[in-house]
Structure 1
Amino acid sequence: MALQPEHEVKEAKKNPESGAGSSPRRFTWEEIGLRTGRGHPQQERWLVIDRKVYDISQFYRRHPGGAQVISHFAGQDATEAFVAFHVNHALVRKYMSSLLIGELAPDEISMKPSKNILLVEDFRDLRATVERMGLLNPNGLFFFLNFLQILLLEAASWITLWYFGTSLVPFLISAVLLTTSLSQAGYLQHDLGHFSVFSKPKWNHVVQKFVIGQLLGLPASWWNLRHAQHHAKTNCFLKDPDLNMHPWFTLGKVLSVELGMKKKFMPYNHQHKYYFVTLPPFLFPVYFQYFPLHKTIQRRDWADLAWMLSFYIRFFLTYEPLLGVKSLLGFYLLIRVLESIWLVWVTQMNHIPMNIDYDKNLDWFSTQLQATCNVDQSLFNDWFTGHLNFHIEHHLFPTMPRHNYWKVAPLVKSLCAKHSIEYHCKPLLTGFADIVHSLKDSGELWLDAYLHK
């Protein structure tokens, strides 16, 4: 089908219901695929939700979830992502009406040819089943006990120093207790950021600012904007910010070969060795100390900045009388290093060993299954990883409360079996080891391309 003339497209944007018989304007995938914000003369951005075509060219900068995450779907079908991310679909659609410019032409399939339509339909049926089973409804008692655990661990950390003194053994025990509290608080703020603790998004927003700001010293807005992109385009270069490890690391087959062919030099063939003494111990005490603060000030997000400062003020007032300034600085550095080691290993085991590539515009189910893996269930694994051992289920249903992952997992496995898709699940230590193996493989691919191509 030929492209519509430019003047007809502009008219469609002004009046999506215009045309013969007041029928909506019709667009082809070819036309929509050109509106990605890159290369088109007007730098337009269009996307499709349930066969409706929306022009987000002016709106994307005001998108509450961030400009990048919605822009990542420009020129594509965003239906599955829209359903996955938004809690109140009817309310959001109401505000989207002003962006509507038409719909797909009748002879256009609902999704691009690269997508498995039968799989998409089956996943939508699974989503409907999940909603009927009430698996998107949070259990208040579960999250209350989780929050209580965090407070008790921090209290135990302070009491240990107060009662037993600040010699080496109580100092280390107190650091481990506080690190555990911080790590569990990290998991809880993650739940809140996904709207999975309270049924109303507003309460998730409010409590998340307290948990991540007061208990962790990080800004909620920065984390939400970054994490939403990770979920939207998991393991996609240029779209998933969690892959921004260049130039220190090269990830996956594609980028490793590209860097080698371009003669980009770093000792990547040794990255599986220097990983141990770089990313895990230093991500939180170095990168997370500077970059979130810089971004918060840059955006002039004074509310988040106030919450961050409240953490440091409370930490100083609580522990300085017991430790003194010099020991307090050492104590703070130790807990941040331990927290970083804990959370980096847990969060990277689910993605680094999996497929990493540029955005291929696959369906939601295929995208997440290729880029995500699970770790075996156990009481310890559930607690230690904040239920991120069920990472496949978490990525398929990001607003689902984590206490329900185990219930939907058998349904996801069945859908994988039906469509011959591998469901990756492994022991915890194997998950950690696969990070190192993956880095080693990527480094060898880089070296081979660097030397021979």
Structure 2
Amino acid sequence: MRLSIAVVVYAGGWTLFVWLGDSWLQLLVAVVMAVIFAQFGFVAHDLGHRQVFRTRRPSDIAGLLMGNLGIGLGWGWWTTKHNRHHANPNHEDHDPDVSPAVIVWSEDQVARSTGIPRFFAKYQAYWFFPLLTLEGWHLHVASFKSLLQPSAKRRWLELTLMITHFAAYFGVVFAVLPFGKALLFLIVHQGLFGVYLGCTFAPNHKGMPVLTKDDKLDYLRKQVLTSRNVRGGWFTDVALGQLNYQIEHHLFPNMPAPNLRKAQPIVERYCQEIGVDYLQTGLIESYGQALRHLHQVGAALR
């Protein structure tokens, strides 16, 4: 059902874009398409975890079509990176999501930082959301860079699908809109796409304990203590791609997303029984915790 709805809405969004033609209303379409692209990303995420199909081949085919062809994101590269994150969440040395490329996540990283990360670290809590406007472009560029490596799996297939995506994407946008409006559409669309993705993943781990080589935790504690759930009803589930059940997702990454809400009370109750902290908060408070952590990390530079 999610796959079908996503594909139909995706096709409908581009049909509306062509039908509207040269109109400032296209900026609203850019907002809608940013949401649709992010929803494609959520489904591609689930496909990467083998939640949808029983066997690898249909998962790979659907993932490549939705990721590389649909939204211009290297599905194979991102899945590999994301699996490394799942193996060691919030670990300074092993989780690529807390590498200090621009944002620094711990006081130890601040002490070792130089260049751009050190420049932003001082007031990085204020820079966080503005920087997310570049996240969509960053993912596209990183996808291409990964596929330029000779060791990349399915290198030519993934490159062909991504080149096809961007040829069609830029071709349609610049064919329908005059140059200035086309550029503005791209800025709004890709900027909000990055912000949406960032606002979805930020509540999950940012502001939670950052692990080092000195931390020796078992599987359950490593996954639970570094993750945060976000409370909410069906709207929150849809908006966050059901990743608001982050603790359950990390404990059971292959569990189909619709079942995470059923597993949540069982996991929470078990954690209470064995004395493991289980954090669940509202969406706004999750951002507050993440931003306060980022601001505290940069305190030494202020």
Q: Same fold (TM over 0.5)?
A: yes
Q: 1:274 aligns with which of 109, 112, 127?
A: 127
Worse-superposed segment, 338-347 or 269-278 = 269-278
Amino acid corresponding to residue 4 of structure 2 in structure 1: L
CA distance in 2, matches of 1:296, 1:277: 28
1:370 maps to 2:225: yes
1:12-161 equivalences under 5 Å are: 145-161=1-17
Aligned to 2:201: 347
1:222 maps to 2:74: no
Quickly say closer, same or farther: Cα 1:361–1:270, change in 2 above 3 A.
Answer: same
CA distance in 1, matches of 2:167, 2:121: 41
1:40-63 C-alpha deviation (Å, 9 max, x unpaired) = xxxxxxxxxxxxxxxxxxxxxxxx
Quickly say closer, same or farther: Cα 1:171–1:366, change in 2 above 3 A.
Answer: same
1:183 shift after superposition: 0.6
Q: Which has the higher helix share?
A: 2
- How many pairs does the alignment contain? 295
Amino acid corresponding to residue 215 of structure 1 in structure 2: G
1:153 and 1:180 in contact (8 A); partners too: no
Q: 2:92 aligns with which of 237, 253, 269?
A: 237
5+ unaligned residues in a row in structure 1: which ranges? 1-144, 449-453
1:397 shift after superposition: 0.4
Aligned to 1:251: 105
Aligned to 1:334: 188
Quickly say closer, same or farther: Cα 1:402–1:265, change in 2 above 3 A.
Answer: closer
CA distance in 1, matches of 2:191, 2:130: 11
Q: What SS does the aligned partner of 1:353 have?
A: coil
TM (norm. structure 1) is 0.62
Aligned to 2:149: 298
Q: 2:139 aligns with which of 275, 288, 291?
A: 288
Amino acid corresponding to residue 404 of structure 1 in structure 2: N
TM (norm. structure 2) is 0.91
1:340 shift after superposition: 0.3
1:252 and 1:355 in contact (8 A); partners too: no
Quickly say closer, same or farther: Cα 1:308–1:422, change in 2 above 3 A.
Answer: same
5+ unaligned residues in a row in structure 2: which ranges? none
Aligned to 1:213: 68
Quickly say closer, same or farther: Cα 1:306–1:325, change in 2 above 3 A.
Answer: farther
Higher relative contact order (CA 8 A, sep 6+): 2
Identity %: 24
Aligned to 1:311: 165
CA distance in 1, matches of 2:229, 2:259: 15
1:303-328 C-alpha deviation (Å, 9 max, x unpaired) = 11011112112224444432245533
1:368 shift after superposition: 0.7
